[in-house]
Amino acid sequence: MGAAMINPDFAISDEDVESFREHGFLKLKGIFSQELVEHMRSLSGSQVTSPTDNYGAGFSKLKYDIGNDDPTILSLMGDPAFSAAMKQLTGAQLFFTQGLGFELEKNKSTGFPWHVGTQSFGFQRREDLGFTIWTPLTEIRAEEQAGGMKYVSKNVFSGEFVYQHINMLPGFMRNEIAAGKEIGYDDFHKLKNNLLNSPEIKPLLDFSAVEDDFEPGDALIFDKYVLHRSVPLGEGPISSRLAYALRFSSIDARWDESRVEALAFPRVTFDYNVGSDFNEVVGKADGDRVYESPHFDGTREARTLA
């Protein structure tokens, strides 16, 4: 693929930086070239598969680890204009960890309810920085067919506590099971999701949320504390909505053994399988620097943002 990754006239203003730091998210208008969008579309379209397990059942298709080592995606990381924009926004030294694809089917898929990236940032400590660039690969008209996302400013309500909540679950459930209670997937699902999606809290978050329109080439950057959810694709001309997400982590992030173990519990106990071993393979001992993991030998430089 040629040089054009991000559009030559894309620029981050001081107001953008200020807004991103305050709210934790920012719409990146016209950031990606149509060639790159097309590449993301073909990556996601060919590799995104139907969820085989309880995890991701709200999507017609969902897959982790798409394009993790793809040369075009890695060349985006090497694009000086892209690194400069990311540095300006986040103030951090980042590396690309993982790509994911999501597909919503019209009038059918619910996607993810309100959540934060406890899975995608499950390898690192709660306080380590993490960012997502989410790129819808069809146009999104929030007031018409929708199919985008809703998100809440972290200044209004930060989702950092959700990273604590998820780690409380295994110990509690093991204790319940030891006490003779029957705990199944439904109980786990409620325990995990009702924190943010109960009949009382969901309308509150919906009321406080932002929902943008997107053209192909637009993307959304958000940090790992931003509460967000999928918005179903309603009636209209588009039959399905694909989106490609890029995850980034700080080069200082450290592998968190207890977090990785906590995520393993529902996977083995309730068939809650995300279909990715990423969190397990990027560290070995608690406190290891993820960036130094042998898993990235050979691609470390290519996935690092200057």
By CB under 6 A, name the binding residues for ligand AKG: 102, 111-112, 117, 132, 134, 149, 228, 230, 243, 245
Query: Residue 244 and residue 263: Cα distance in Å, rounded?
Result: 23
Handedness of CA 25, 29, 34, 36 (dihedral sign): negative
Of 132 and 250, the one with the shorter C-beta distance to ligand AKG is 132
Q: Which amino acid is at 50?
A: S
Q: Which residue is nearest to ligand AKG (CB)?
A: 230
**How would you classify the pairing of strands 219-223 and 149-151?**
unpaired
Of 5 and 149, the one with the shorter C-beta distance to ligand AKG is 149
Q: How far separated are the first and last CA of the chain, in Å rounded?
A: 20
The neighbour count for residue 209, using CB atoms within 10 Å, is 19
Of 173 and 230, the one with the shorter C-beta distance to ligand AKG is 230
The neighbour count for residue 234, using CB atoms within 10 Å, is 13
Number of H helices, E strands in the chain: 9, 8
The residues, ordered by sequence, that sit 6+ positions from 182 with a Cβ below 8 Å of its Cβ are: none
Most distant CA pair in the chain: distance in Å? 63
Q: C-beta of 115: minimal distance to ligand AKG in Å?
A: 7
Of 33 and 230, the one with the shorter C-beta distance to ligand AKG is 230
Q: C-beta of 189: minimal distance to ligand AKG in Å?
A: 17
Q: C-beta of 15: minimal distance to ligand AKG in Å?
A: 25
Secondary structure of residue 183 in the 3-state scheme: coil
Of 94 and 173, the one with the shorter C-beta distance to ligand AKG is 94
Of 102 and 225, the one with the shorter C-beta distance to ligand AKG is 102
Q: C-beta of 240: minimal distance to ligand AKG in Å?
A: 12
Q: C-beta of 171: minimal distance to ligand AKG in Å?
A: 26
Q: C-beta of 276: minimal distance to ligand AKG in Å?
A: 13
